[in-house]
Amino acid sequence: MDAADAADDRDARLGVDVGGTFTDVALVVDGELTTAKVPTTDDQSRGVVAGIEAACDAAGVDPGEVAGFRHATTAAVNAVLEGAGAETALVTTEGFADAVEIGRQDRPALYDLSAGKSAPLVPAERRFEVDERATTQGIERPVDPEEVRGVADALDGDYESVAVAFLHAYAHPDNERRAAEILREELDVPVSASHEVLAEFREYERTATTVADAYVTPVVDDYLARLDEGAAGLGLPPVRVMGSNGGIADAETVRERAVTTLLSGPAAGVVGAGRFEREEDAGLVTFDMGGTSSDVSLVRDGRAERTTDAEIGGHPVGVPMVDVHTVGAGGGSIARVDEGGALRVGPESAGAEPGPACYGKGGDEPTVTDAAVVLGYLGADTTLGEGLALDADRAEAVMEDLADEAGLDTVIDAAQGVYRVANATMARAIRGVTVERGHDPREFALAAFGGAGPMHAATLADRLGIETVLVPPGNGVLSALGLLAADERHDATRTYRTGLADADPEAVESVFEGLAADALGDASEPEAATVEREAECRYAGQSFELAVDAPAPFDAATVRERFHDAHERARGYRMDEPVDLVTCRVTATVPGDPPDLAYDPGGDPLLGKRDAFFESGFYRAPVYDRARVPVDVPVEGPAIFAGGESTVVLPPQWTARADDRGTLVLEAGEE
């Protein structure tokens, strides 16, 4: 076999995740993992191409040999958070143009009388009304095609996208469907129709989600076009994109429903972490700390928990998403002293440019990463993306300034204060997805990843009573690696409101069958897909729903009993009240083929020793090469494990060992 034939036989797969500070690349070739971490660029596609080239060079692989290319992007979420989406118009039912602004009666901060809501993505002057009406029973007044054409004339040339959301279109979409058809015929811009984006009741959430889809679609489409061009220049196959639901879809599907990519990156990390859940754990709390923020979520039985009740930048988004809670605490989070003299950390970030002071790129504000350098967790010999060496003198200088401003005695006091404040913020986030939802965090293991996550994980676990921390292989780029482990997923939903006692099983079954056909229609391999069905139910009079598995064929008695059990688990009680079916949901899943990573450590793992500060003082801590730690050989803390893209800090009273998959297992000892 010649070299060309050998290359053809290689299994080379590529995952790329764009973060706020770094773009992470995971390249797996025949079970061997090669990673790269490069600064995120203004045009994200340039950073993606640069990262791919760096990883391929390091692995000795021509990009043309890559068989699969998967990507997680922040293009959509950045557009919403930064207000940089398309010029979008909303076409809605007469009298309902302001529903998207009125929203709900609840305030962002209950006791803050000055708290304001986020401005809608479409201001009043971009909202257009049409004289039509549907009720929950059917079409009451048909839409006038000529009126819609008149609206199209008013929109032509001034807008980049259009959202169409008519009253009760989730139940009877004929008017909305006809209006969308006319607008697509008359206008050369994307048109998002609510019955296609989110066929569910609650007018505000459905309209806001449809507007968000229209707002980000041109941005995502333009980004994917640039990425396709850059990837084609390298000889890569067509890109497939991670959705917020934790599943992969082809670029064309994503272009048709761009709102499904709003939590693309965080979802990939949770999926990747879920692959390393152990049988002895009740589940995982996933903890992803990057340069700008930290994301936490729950994984149980290998499955990420999902939600349809998410908010992005103050805007509700009702499509299925991995349930991720984000806080503004990352390695680049800036520390400051507030007007009351208290030390604060984040949510402002130094980003990639100029970055923390220790990057030596002009940053002059203290960050969490600078604190880690001063505390000895990161050394002057630590390298980050693109071989970036750390400037310990600059880190100490900005921490001295912070100590003076805060009235602290030493630079160590300042660094330790920054570290504690950042950890307190992240601990609150973890309590938010555990304690506040009825889960005991002590029953879970903490899966730490991201560039900074493993550096804080054991200390966080101590605060929360968690006894086990898992640091998966490739943890610094786990979102990129998680892309390669993800299944293909497609969701379809429809509100169908009926009391279970009065439900017509054949009618409900017909709804599920229609949804299954829609979900399978988007699948790349329908014959290989599995179909899951859920019924969202509630007690009569409640305003929230819980999802339970729906049997096929539909059986109301089974769903009712499952709902009683689910309500008791979630709320602590069950009621002797009628149960209503509200929404039917179907998910079609094409199983993925996760790479089987090899772990074959060899050589002396000890790299040297470094002075590191912990709660009880300074220690002369050994520094190990993470990739050379032998399997099942315990290491006593304090210790530091250096990796290519992240650092693991093991405090005193903790032990660590590597398992046969390369996961570093950290376990708390007795006090």
pLDDT value at 5 more than 70? no
Q: How many CA atoms lie within 13 A of 514 on its CB side?
A: 12
Mean pLDDT of the chain: 90
Residue 512 and residue 535: Cα distance in Å, rounded? 10
Residue bearing tokens 């995952």 = 15
Which pairs from 7-12 meet CB under 8 Å and 24+ separation? Answer: 7/62, 7/65, 8/65, 10/61, 10/65, 11/67, 11/595, 12/61, 12/65, 12/66, 12/67
- Tokens representing 639? 């210790």
Residue 382, pLDDT score: 67
Choice among 98-112, 199-213, 355-369, 470-484 with the minimum mean pLDDT: 98-112
SS3 507: helix
Span 91-103, pLDDT tens digits? 999 999 999 999 8
Q: Distance of alpha carbon 551 from its chain centroid, rounded?
A: 30
Residue 29 and residue 596: Cα distance in Å, rounded? 10
Residue 62 and residue 382: Cα distance in Å, rounded? 29
Q: How many CA atoms lie within 13 A of 229 on its CB side?
A: 8
Residue 6's pLDDT band (boundaries 50, 70, 90)? very low
Residue 236, pLDDT score: 94
Residue 671, pLDDT score: 57
pLDDT value at 203 more than 90? yes
The topology (CATH level 3) of 3-79+221-258 is Nucleotidyltransferase; domain 5 (3.30.420)
Q: What DSSP designation does 114 have?
A: T
For residues 130 and 142, the answer to whether their CB atoms sit within 8 Å is: no
Span 175-195, pLDDT tens digits? 999 999 999 999 999 999 999
Q: Which residues contact 342 (CB under 8 A, 6 or more apart)?
A: none
Residue 293, pLDDT score: 82
Residue 396, pLDDT score: 93
pLDDT value at 581 more than 60? yes
As a whole number of Å, the end-to-end CA separation of the chain is: 59
Report which of residues 381 and 635 the model is more confident about: 635
Span 71-88, pLDDT tens digits? 999 889 888 988 899 999
For residues 392 and 369, the answer to whether their CB atoms sit within 8 Å is: no
Residue 7, pLDDT score: 44
Residue 21, pLDDT score: 72
The topology (CATH level 3) of 488-590 is Dna Ligase; domain 1 (3.30.1490)
Residue bearing tokens 């090899």 = 598
Span 330-341, pLDDT tens digits? 888 899 998 888
